Amino acid sequence: MRPGGRVIAGFKVDQNWNERSGAAVFPHAEISIHPTSEGSPNHRHPGHKRSGEILLKARSLCLGYGLEALKLDHDNRFHSRDEGFFSEDGRLRVIGRLDRIIISGGEKIDPDEVRRILLEDPRVADAWIGSIPDPEWGRKAMALWVPRSSSGEIDQAAICADLRIRIEAFKLPKQWKCLEAIPRDEKGKLPQSLLESLLPS
């Protein structure tokens, strides 16, 4: 993990990926977890406390990114915008980016959770869950998906109905779009500007 431009935690070289319960924090870094209302509602650590934003304090932080100076709080801590928690043995577990959580109508939606469940449908080859502005909901979840087979009739309504059975109603994407392929960038992500460009004009 590299918030602030410096490696702060890592795994042993010979440690099997599936056995990694968390990353060991290096001595130079002071890491704390700050509870936040933005956190994913489905992630809790063994102590049943909410996960939170990973904060970093160290003398070796970088000065900034490009022309933008690194922003620190009043206690000289860097707010990483990564969500995580400490496991029982003191290892740092990183869940994902807080920026990905969708707030729609006051409810929190974890897009990674919705995507994972949608991909379990044998008719879906690929999917991406994002959000777009909405005057009623603030933001609304949008699903981009790729059918597993290009032949035959694509029953998007049936896929949506099956997903509705498996997740809470407020998590169901309010807009759907079927694509031949999802146009991810070189990092495997879908930029917001590209997502909005796929909407009907």
Q: What is the DSSP letter of 5?
A: G
- Break the chain into its structural domains and give their ranges: 3-99, 102-197
List, for residues 155-188, the tens digit of each pLDDT value: 899 999 999 999 999 999 999 999 999 988 777 7
Residues 6 or more apart whose Cβ sits within 8 Å of residue 23: 1, 9, 10, 11, 91, 92, 93, 94
pLDDT at residue 1, rounded to an integer = 44
List, for residues 111-164, the tens digit of each pLDDT value: 888 999 999 999 999 999 998 888 888 889 999 999 987 766 778 999 999 999
For residue 102, give both structure tokens: 């969708």
Mean pLDDT of all residues in the chain? 77
Classify domain 102-197 at the CATH superfamily level: ANL, C-terminal domain (3.30.300.30)
pTM over 0.75: no
Fold of the domain built from segment(s) 3-99: Luciferase; domain 3 (2.30.38)
Residue pair 137/174 in contact (Cβ under 8 Å)? The answer is yes
